[in-house]
Structure 1
Amino acid sequence: MNNGIVDSSLATIGDTPMVRLQRIVPDGAAQVIVKLEAGNPTGSYKDRMALAIIEEAEHRGDLKPGQRVVEYSGGSTGSSLAYVCAVKGYPCTIISSDTFSEEKIRTMRAFGADVVLVPSNGGLITPDLFDRMRDVLDGIVETEGAYWTDQFHNTDALIGYDALGQEMLRQTERSGIVIDAFCAAVGTAGMLAGVSRTLKAALPDVVVTALEPTTSPMLSAGHAGPHHVEGIATGIVPSLLPADLYDRVLTVDEAVARELAAPLTREEGIFAGTSSAFNIAGALRIAQELGPGHTVATVACDSGLKYLAGDLYRT
């Protein structure tokens, strides 16, 4: 970690803390440790991915000075790309939807991105929504010669998430802990894939679990469905997640994750969004399976500040 003065806020991405849950882990379960990604500049682990994608494109010459960057996003990727583009001086367009967090959409605009909203069906995240968002994106690429970051297929994203995995290894080693299991929900699957390949290279016995909503079990049952957990379960089997990078799939009830958000905040001090609560709900189930003497790791993806306009924290 650089504790001196840096020349760009981009240098502050990463080096986030890990915490051990103390109060919500059931008796007789393994310990659960959580990587807290809200400390990144936009409050999300997607900053890691956005920086890697933009800088790798620059290095190859695929992204030219002044060229527009475009992506379709449910929020955090869009916010992170808007941020990185703002610092580096690229115009940016994000295709999003009215079903996603108002805070995330406002964040994209705050960083200067042009945001195009595609209407949802009843406020739900459905596979056809992403198809319609992609259609709008294709038009912008064709008419403006924009660089599409292609978050669902761009392996440059894994470079950013490798760093997350390396941080986890260093932090657990300093604490004398070995990670027995890692779990995370699947959206683009870049984070799960990047962390998994890093952990598996160092810990051959680690068991990696991909999480998905019970209503949209694409990996486990081969079909998608509606849900409202932003950033995950987009209705496809992600190309960034080869079968050898995860060992099992676990479905998690969205309602369980939503109910966990308040105890996470009030008992553990982890103020996070739905996908983070989803990851931790999965980790708690795995911890009960493994029992004492084991360690389950997961990631809190972002900050609860991104969800205050919705119903997650309404009391």
Structure 2
Amino acid sequence: MKIANSITDLIGNTPIVKLNRLPEAGSADVYVKLEFQNPGGSVKDRIANAMIEDAEQSGALKQGDTIIEPTSGNTGIGLAMVAAAKGYRAIFVMPETMSLERRKLLQAYGAELVLTPGPDGMKGAIAKADELAKEHGYFVPQQFHNPANPAIHERTTGPEIVEAFGKDGLDAFIAGVGTGGTVTGAGHVLKKNYPDIKIYALEPEESAVLSGDTPSPHKIQGIGAGFVPDTLDTKVYDGILKVSSEDALETAREVAKKEGILVGISSGATIFAALNLAKELGAGKKVLAIVASNGERYLSTALYNFE
């Protein structure tokens, strides 16, 4: 085992594990890539580090600068970790309705928080971050627009999957769409290596914007932003899978109880979709789903309400 020079060197090369007890008899094999094994606890560590390194290389970010980003979730945590490791000041703008554990996690990394009115949602947070960035000259990574986002998945996530499955290949790949960076970047690599693979973008059933529906509230944190992001290549996927918030929550609970893997809500959605797709494909086929984050991050949400 190599000794790393920085916590950022440990991002990526996440493990893939087979699900043994949840898939029905006669189904395809179902595998999950555990992105919560990244040091900041989610898939977003990849893009956080990539966006900051890209900005450093282009000269858009230099020592002494401040990073600001409107975020309610894992991208903020990844950025806070990378900013701490590299010595940048970090400010995150989020709606005041976001969970206390989220806020504390960001503050633990030394980040500053600016809270915006809850009813204004993420649009209010984005507007406030833009206002502060213009006023003070802060750097905004802009995860929904930054090409470094899908590029890092093309450079790391996709090749990691190909290395794991080798010449035997893979029949289907499922990733939830928040920014769309994972399905876009990894999808391009998988298509090149496995011409017959089917790539699926996953979104909340209640807010199926990719399918042409109108944005609506849902409980699957981290996906279903309510618009089609610039970082999503809509030509890379072969189909869109829709999963309800209830099915996502229930599956996440089942994965913990039956596979011993504690996953977040969006991972419950990707696994629900993978199990159903595995039934359709049948024995001898292989399906891989992305597990974006760990269930510990959602202990105060509806996911784990044991009362």
Mapped partners of 1:243, 1:251: distance in 2: 15
Contact 1:200/1:206 (<8 A) preserved: yes
Among residues 162, 165, 168, which one is paired with 2:161 in the alignment? Answer: 168
The answer to whether the Cα contact below 8 Å between 1:35 and 1:300 also exists between their aligned partners in 2 is: yes
Which amino acid in 2 is paired with 1:149?
P
Q: Distance in 2 between matches of 1:120 and 1:196?
A: 35
Match of 2:265 in 1: 274
Residue number among 46, 51, 56 corresponding to 1:48 in the alignment: 46
Give per-residue Cα distances to partners, 1:199-246, cap 9 Å, x unaligned.
112112111111111110101123211112111111101111122211
Aligned to 2:141: 149
What is the identity, as a one-letter code, of the residue corresponding to 1:211? Answer: L
SS in 1 for 2:303: coil
Query: Residues 248-284 of structure 1, C-alpha deviation per residue, up to 9 Å, x if partnerless?
Result: 1111111011011221011111111101111111111
Q: Which residue of 1 aligns with 2:2?
A: 4
AA of the residue aligned to 1:71:
E
Using the TM superposition, give the Cα deviation of residue 286 of structure 1 relative to its aligned residue in structure 2, in angstroms.
1.3
Aligned residue number for residue 81 of structure 2: 83
For the Cα contact (< 8 Å) 1:101–1:306, is it kept in 2? no
Matches within 5 A, 1:126-141: 129-141=121-133
Q: Is the 8 A contact 1:79 1:105 kept in 2?
A: no
Contact 2:29 2:278 in 1 (8 A): yes
CA RMSD of the aligned region, Å?
1.4
Give the TM-score normalised by structure 2: 0.96
For the residues of structure 2 that align with 1:84 and 1:40, how far apart are their CA atoms? 12
Query: What does 1:15-94 align with in structure 2 at a 5 Å threshold?
Result: 15-94=13-92
Q: Which amino acid aligns with 2:36?
A: A
State the one-letter code of the partner of 1:299: I
What's 1:189 paired with? 180
Alignment check: 8 A CA contact 1:83 1:111 kept: yes
Question: What percentage of residue pairs aligned between the two structures are identical?
Answer: 38
Task: Provide, for residues 144-181 of structure 1, a one-character-per-residue CA deviation record: whole Å limited to 9, x for no partner.
Answer: 100110100101012322201111111112xx641111
The 3-state SS of whatever aligns with 1:29 is coil
Structure 1 CA distance for aligned equivalents of residues 50 and 235 of structure 2: 23
TM normalised by structure 1 equals 0.93
Q: Which moved more, 1:10-19 or 1:91-100?
A: 91-100
Counterpart of 1:131, as a letter, is: K
Any idea what SS the aligned residue of 2:258 has?
helix
The one of 301, 309, 312 equivalent to 2:292 is 301
| Residue 230 (1) aligns with residue 228 (2) | no
Letter in 1 for 2:17: V
* Structure 2 gap ranges (5+): none
CA distance in structure 2 between the aligned counterparts of 1:206 and 1:188, rounded to whole angstroms: 22
Deviation, 1:142, is 1.2
Secondary structure of the equivalent of 1:152?
coil
* 2:207 alignment partner, SS class: coil
Distance in 1 separating the partners of 2:291 and 2:58: 32
SS at match of 1:42: coil
Q: Deviations over 1:172-204 (max 9, x none)?
A: 12xx64111111111111111111111112112
Tell me, in whole angstroms, the C-alpha distance in 1 between the residues paired with 2:30 and 2:76: 30
Match of 1:310 in 2: 301
Q: Deviation at 1:7? A: 1.3
What is the 5 A alignment of 1:206-285? 206-285=197-276
The equivalent of 1:13 in structure 2 is 11
Question: How far off is 1:100 after superposition?
Answer: 3.4
Q: List per-residue Cα deviations over 1:104-134 (Å, max 9, x = no partner).
A: 221111111111222334xxxxxx6221111
Change in 2 beyond 3 A, CA 1:200/1:135: same
Aligned residues: 305
* 1:124 corresponding residue in structure 2: none
In the alignment, the residues of structure 1 paired with residue 237 and residue 118 of structure 2 have an alpha-carbon distance, to the nearest angstrom, of: 31
